[in-house]
Amino acid sequence: MKLWIGKEKEGVHQGFKTLFIGSPDVTEKSIIKFAESYNVAQIYFGAGICTEINCGVVFKCINYFENKDMLITLETDIKDFDKLIEFSSYKNTEFILTVTHKNFSILNKLNDYKTQIKVQSLKGDKVVALTDWTKFKKVDINKLKGKTYEGDVVLIE
């Protein structure tokens, strides 16, 4: 699946009418055409489980929508973020960094009010960040069907 439209179901922009880009082969012309014809609030690159992002297309879309109140979201695995960091200086661009681990399913067993989550890197440029588990937005993935949620409409297969 390359391109679909629906309401954002995850993160801080839940409810936004969104054009999801799930392939690096989708052109900026298609993205612009569908974004404008469907009057979306967000264009979401890397949709469908962190698909590859075409930086050339992202750059063209950012420039086209720069003064048009369009949010451009880039979802990527944290290990690939360095390939996209150049886009962080644009005011209409946001990131979702995905961290995947085989043991994360144990988080479903946590007592929400007694647990904090710590993200850290103690090598190179060190970073430690901590937040209460209750601050995470839990997503109901029971309505996820493959790469799309119930109600999404596929525009380009």
CATH code: domain of residue 9 = 3.40.50
Q: Residue 122 falls within a domain, yes or no?
A: no
Q: Residue 132 falls within a domain, yes or no?
A: no
Task: Tell me which residue has tokens 């695995």.
Answer: 77
**Three-state DSSP class for residue 17:** strand
Q: Residue 127 falls within a domain, yes or no?
A: no
pTM to 2 decimal places: 0.90
**What is the residue range of 29's domain?**
3-101+138-156
Cα distance between the two ends of the chain = 5
Q: Residue 111 falls within a domain, yes or no?
A: no
Q: Residue 129 falls within a domain, yes or no?
A: no
DSSP-derived secondary structure for 19-79? EEE--TT--HHHHHHHHHHTT-SEEEETHHHH----HHHHHHHHHHHTTTT-EEEEEEEGG
Q: Residue 93 falls within a domain, yes or no?
A: yes
Instruction: Walk along the chain (157 residues) and give the pLDDT tens digit of each residue.
Output: 799 999 999 989 999 999 999 999 999 999 999 999 999 999 999 998 888 999 999 999 999 999 999 999 999 999 999 999 999 999 999 999 999 889 988 888 877 668 888 999 998 889 999 998 888 888 888 888 888 998 999 999 8
Give me the number of domains the chain comprises.
Answer: 1
